[in-house]
Amino acid sequence: MGSVLYLLCLFCQLILLPGLSSSHPLCTDSTAPFTLKAPLTFCPYNGSVCCDSAKDSQLQKQFQAMNISDPACASIMKSILCATCDQFSAELFKIESGSRSVPILCNSTMSVDSTQSNSAVNEFCGMVWDTCEKVSMLDSPFVPALQGSAGVPVNSSSSKLTDHWQSKSEFCHAFGGASAEDSVCFNGEPVSLNNTGTMQPPNGLCLEKIGNGSYIDMAGHPDGSNRVFLADQKGRIWLATVPEAESGGTLGLDELTPFLDISDQVYLDTELGLMGISFHPNFTDNGRFFVSYNCDKAQWDECSGRCSCNSDVNCNPSVLASYSGGSPCQYYSVISEFTVNGTTSQLSLATRGNPSEVRRIFSMGLPFVSHHGGQIIFGPSDGYLYFMMGDGGGTGDPFNFSQNKKSLLGKIMRFDVDKLPSETEINDLSLWGNYSIPKDNPASEDKDLQPEIWALGLRNPWRCSFDAERPSYFFCSDDGQNRYEEVDIITKGGNYGWRVYEGPYTYNPPQSPGGNTSANSIDPIFPVMGYDHSALNNSDGSAAIIGGYLYRSLTDPCTYGSYIYADLYAGAIWAGIETPENSGNFSTNQIPFSCAHDSPIQCTSTEGSRFPTLGYIYSFGEDNRKDVYILATNGVYRIANPSRCNYKCSKENVTTTASPSPSSSPSSGNPLKKRYYDLVLLISSLMLLLGLTF
């Protein structure tokens, strides 16, 4: 018993370790790589790159100014300078304190778990030293004063490596690094990852029904407990307790006593109502939370603001009215801030929210009654509030709002809700509410963009999420028009193509009173996952993608690391697998699902079928244990252990202490994650042998 308790304590300590950071392809400015329209003339990069022709020319001039006489050293230095064009340059040049002057040079003495395509290239740092140690160069990037590493600062005008570094080992300690699962290093060529440890899609999802209510959004309680907030489209939010798995319990909530009820302010219709809830990262200290909803100015006097159709975006409301068939901007998209009822010392224990609005964060009149997204979530790394907004409706975005950089329609926005706007922002930026603009929003580099915009070119982003282990993976599903449903990885300043493209296909709008955008004028980022409408079994062809989560719970170890998403109408669920890991390349498979034989609430199913009838799938949810839920018209369903539905999963209920092979482990390639997972299996095995349960 003592050994088991010791292992449990060790397990708890491992849970508290910070997650390792790894990323899909990103440039050093956090933007996504793009595809060149014409080859670079100096740097040997093609396909997906981080340099345009202007940057390429700048690097060529920098290289020529270095005046390196030795051809072999010159060739190596050229490759090092050009590494900034690599699609993985954000990882190559990243250090904890900021950015590096040169990429991380592959160094075999530091390598623990090489995953790049050729292990021999791990000697690249030593090769740089051997080739260039006695070669003079102007403005060397290896001068210690520039790198901020140990060494004797000297004049950097012309120098050799031996002027600053006493040995190869000292040089590679400063500039070298290992290639591991959670990082990449530079070997003189564009980064290429091995296709090792390929995951397999789960054999099926086992679901247990734990609630009968129909909800549109869910958020784990910020205190880390087993409590969650559930919101419905009418404008009500409940605080609920989640039952332990296999306990036979159901959601604990009082339908008659909601945490917050603003249904008198919310206008409810098919695509209108409460759209999202989000709780401040410091909610336990400040009690602040935010609600995104729609209102009708004809029914509520405080439903007001500017119309999204205005002269700034070259939109004439009278012209818009002829297409909308009604009054433009009768309905508004609103974000309001609220706080809980309770003393400042016990905010996390509060069971009721104050229905009086603290602050109107955002308010914008909508051109039509559909395609206005509405989800809000806080970024896990930056603490800013992200707001997903659709193109405003109308077949084919007739006014081309999504590509209009001055319009907030068809965009993902990012706000700082912890600072009130400055006088400059109020006077010069024409903000749409009470928030500040984060200094690194894309408008800091693209002056044509409205300052709130983080990404553009979306039709109707419906459910986005950050990967719990790699926050740079920001997934958003985007509803298609009539052909393709897509999942995108959102990056700073990214343009996701609509309405020039619908998914990977070019799109021709039936009418264009707002003008068109040419395909040659944008650098679209195409989906990483998705499906054609023709692939569904719907008789009427209806489709609407519902974005989910990259599954990080150990409840179903065979689903760990898969991105789970669904379709509203088809009742179909997919699992997306990234191959190789951290590459940004996904394959996707539709997977079966069924109801646990011991589900706390019996699942309904169609006659002659063992598959549960979920009804319309509205959304997914995730609790503090990273368990994933499906929110549907027929109730709340939680992903359960595969064996409860007789799905085969070799990683479940392991009763020996043998560790799974790296290729079969959900933490394949990452020593810390593998250690964590192996320890879970070891503890489970010991407790099973002792007849104990968690």
Task: Please provide the average confidence, as pLDDT, over all residues in the chain.
Answer: 86
* Residue with tokens 């051109």, as numbered in its chain: 367
**How far is Cα 629 from Cα 111, in angstroms, rounded to an integer?**
39
Quick one: pLDDT at residue 180? 60
Strands 359-365 and 306-307: parallel
Q: Mean pLDDT across the stretch 293-312?
A: 96
Host H or E run for residue 425: helix 423-428
| Residue 460 pLDDT class (50, 70, 90 cuts) | very high
By percentage, how much of the chain surpasses pLDDT 70?
84
Q: pTM surpassing 0.75?
A: yes
Does 610 score more than 70 pLDDT? no
The C-alpha angle 553, 555, 556, rounded to 5 degrees, equals: 90
The phi and psi torsions of 22 (rounded to 5 degrees) equal: -145, 155
| Least confident span in 42-51, 87-96, 115-124, 257-266 | 115-124
Give the residue from 196, 231, 197, 200 showing the smallest Cα distance to 217: 231
Of 345, 344, 349, 219, whose CA–CA distance to 274 is shortest?
219
**pLDDT at res. 605:** 77
Q: What is the pLDDT of residue 100?
A: 82
Backbone angles phi, psi at 13, to 5 degrees: -65, -40
- Residues 648-675 pLDDT 10s: 999 887 533 333 333 333 333 344 444 4
b or e along 130-157 (b: 16 or more beta carbons within 10 Å of the residue's beta carbon)?
ebbbebbbeebbbbbebbebebeeeebe
Average pLDDT, stretch 121-137?
A: 89
User: Does the pLDDT of residue 343 top 80, yes or no?
Assistant: no
Question: Each residue of 611-652: pLDDT tens digit?
Answer: 689 999 999 999 999 999 999 999 999 999 999 999 999 988
**Can you read off the two tokens belonging to residue 293?**
């909803």
Q: Which residues have CB under 8 Å from 34's CB, separation 6+? A: 48, 49, 50, 52, 523, 525
The end-to-end CA distance of the chain, in Å, is: 13
| pLDDT band with cut points at 50, 70 and 90 for residue 19 | very low
pLDDT, tens only, 473-516: 999 999 999 999 999 999 999 999 999 999 999 999 999 999 99
For 344, counting Cβ atoms within 10 Å of its Cβ (0-12 exposed, 13-18 middle, 19+ buried), the class is exposed
Task: Give 220-254 pLDDT, tens digit per residue.
Answer: 999 999 999 999 999 999 999 999 999 999 999 99
Angle at 474 between CA 37 and CA 93, to 5 degrees: 65
* Tokens of residue 512, six digits: 């264009």
Look at residue 70 and tell me whether its pLDDT is greater than 50.
yes
What b-and-e string marks burial along 497-528, b requiring 16 or more CB atoms within 10 Å of the CB?
bbbbbbbeeebebeeeebeebeeeebbbbebb
Least confident of 19-28, 56-65, 311-320, 683-692: 683-692
pLDDT of residue 367: 95
What pLDDT, on the 0 to 100 scale, is given for residue 38?
86
Closest by Cα among 639, 643, 619, 641 to 631 = 619
Q: What is the pLDDT of residue 123?
A: 83
DSSP labels, 322-391 = HHHTS-TTSEEEEEEEEEBSS-GGGGGG---B--S-SEEEEEEE-SSSS-----EEE-TTT-PEEEEE--
Cα angle 383-385-391, degrees, rounded to a multiple of 5:
150
> What integer pLDDT is reported at residue 540 of this predicted model?
72
CB neighbour class for 101 (10 Å; exposed up to 12, middle 13-18, buried from 19):
middle
According to DSSP, the β-strands at 461-466 and 474-478 are antiparallel
Query: What does 499-537 look like in DSSP terms, one character per residue?
Result: TTEETTEE---S--TT----GGG--BPPPSEEEEGGGS-
Q: Would you state the pLDDT for residue 463?
A: 97
The neighbour count for residue 1, using CB atoms within 10 Å, is: 7
Alpha carbon distance 503, 485 (integer Å)? 7
pLDDT (tens digit, 9 = 90+) per residue, 518-564? 999 999 999 999 999 998 877 677 899 999 999 999 999 999 999 99
Q: Which of 214, 217, 211, 223 is nearest to 624 (CA)?
A: 223
Report the pLDDT value the prediction gives residue 9, as an integer from 0 to 100: 40
DSSP label at 155? -
Least confident of 206-220, 270-284, 624-638, 677-691: 677-691
- DSSP 8-state code for residue 558: T
Average pLDDT estimate for 47-71: 95
**pLDDT higher than threshold 50 for residue 350:** yes
* Distance from chain centroid for Cα 113: 26
